[in-house]
Amino acid sequence: MTPGRAEAVAKPGNWHKACFSTLMLRQIFRPLSGSGQVLRLVLGLLGLLLLAQGCSSRVVRPPNSPSVDPTAERLGQAGDRAMGVVQTARGQIGAPYVYGGDSPDEGFDCSGLVYWVYRQNGVEVPRVSGDQYRVGKPVTREELKPGDMVFFKLPGKGSSLHAAIYSGQETFIHSPKAGSSVREEPLEARYWLGHYLGARRVVQDNE
C-alpha cells in the first residue's frame, strides 16, 4: 500500500471511502468475459464518479464566535429596576434646570433629578449630592452598570458635588446647570472625564 493510500485510510471519515475505492477497482478488473465485463466497467466508473463528487464537496465550517463587548455584557447584566431607573431618567430629558427643583413640575437640579428618579423606582436616596455619594456600594469606573449614580467634582463649586445617573455605553443623564435642561452626555468627554470623582450602586443586579 502506498503512503498516500495509508494516510487516507488513517484519517477519520476517509477510511470508508478508501475501502470502497479498493473494492470497486477489484470488481472492475476481476476477470470476466463478454458483456458482463462491459457492464461491470460502466457501473464501476459511475461509482467512482459519485465517490469523487462526494470527496470534493466543501465542508461548511461554523463562523468564529463574535467577540463580546464588555460594555454590552454589563448592560445585559443590569437588573429590571436599574433599567427602570435609566428609562425614568431618559423620560425627563428636556426638563429645565431649576436650582432646588426635584420634580417634573418645577424642574430639576442635579441631585434633585437623581433623588426623584430613584424614588419613582422604589429606591430612597438622600436629596443632597454630598449625601448621595455616601450611600450604596462604591464601584470603579470599569464596573459601571446602568442605574449607578456617578459623581463629579466641578471647579468653582466648593465642596458640593455634581450628581448624575449612568445610562450605559459610556453615557450619563444629568441636569447640568442654570439655563440648560436634562440631557444625556458621553462620560468620555474630556471635561467630564477630567472631573470624574466616582460612582455608587444602590440598586443590586438581582433587583
Range of the domain at 41: 3-55
Q: Tell me which of 54-63, 98-107, 183-192 is least confident.
A: 54-63
Indicate if 133 and 168 belong to the same structural domain: yes
Q: Is 174 a catalytic residue?
A: yes
Scan for cell 458621553, then name that residue.
Answer: 186
Distance of CA 140 to the CA centre of its chain: 20
Q: Domain count for the chain, please give it.
A: 2
Indicate if 172 and 98 belong to the same structural domain: yes
Q: Is 55 a catalytic residue?
A: no
Indicate if 50 and 74 belong to the same structural domain: no
Q: Tell me which of 16-20, 110-114, 119-123 is least confident.
A: 16-20
Q: 98 or 61: whose pLDDT is higher?
A: 98
In a domain, 206, yes or no: no
72 contacts: CB under 8 Å, gap ≥ 6: 169
Q: Is 195 a catalytic residue?
A: no
61 pLDDT band, cuts 50/70/90, is: very low
Indicate if 21 and 103 belong to the same structural domain: no
Q: Tell me which of 153-157, 160-164, 180-184 is least confident.
A: 153-157
Indicate if 76 and 150 belong to the same structural domain: yes
Q: Is the pLDDT of residue 75 over 90?
A: no
Predicted confidence at residue 52, as pLDDT, reads: 53
Q: Is the pLDDT of residue 146 over 60?
A: yes
In a domain, 133, yes or no: yes
In a domain, 76, yes or no: yes
Indicate if 92 and 152 belong to the same structural domain: yes
d(CA 177, CA 115): 16
Output the DSSP codes for the chain.
--HHHHHHHHSTTTHHHHHHHHHHHHHHTS---THHHHHHHHHHHHHHHHHHHHHTSPPPPPPPPPPPPHHHHHHHHS-HHHHHHHHHHHTTTTPBB-TT-EETTTEE-HHHHHHHHHHHTT----SSHHHHTTSSEEE-GGG--TT-EEEE--TT-TT--EEEEEEETTEEEE--STT-B-EEEETTSHHHHHTEEEEEE-S-TT-
Indicate if 166 and 84 belong to the same structural domain: yes
Q: Is the pLDDT of residue 172 over 90?
A: yes
In a domain, 65, yes or no: no
Catalytic residue among 16, 19, 55, 110: 110
pTM of the model: 0.64
Q: Is the pLDDT of residue 79 over 90?
A: no
Neighbours of 170 (CB within 10 A): 15
In a domain, 207, yes or no: no
Q: Is the pLDDT of residue 12 over 50?
A: no
Q: 82 or 17: whose pLDDT is higher?
A: 82
Catalytic residue among 19, 55, 162, 195: 162
Indicate if 32 and 94 belong to the same structural domain: no
Indicate if 88 and 182 belong to the same structural domain: yes
Give residue-wise pLDDT tens across range 15-57. Answer: 444 444 444 445 545 554 555 555 565 565 665 565 555 544 4
What CATH number should be reported for the domain holding residue 174? 3.90.1720.10
Catalytic residue among 16, 55, 174, 195: 174
Q: Is the pLDDT of residue 71 over 70?
A: no
The residue-averaged pLDDT of 125-141 equals: 97
Q: Is 111 exposed, middle or buried (0-12, 13-18, 19+ CB in 10 A)?
A: buried
In a domain, 23, yes or no: yes
Indicate if 100 and 184 belong to the same structural domain: yes
In a domain, 61, yes or no: no
167 pLDDT band, cuts 50/70/90, is: very high
Specify the pairing of strand 162-168 against strand 171-174: antiparallel
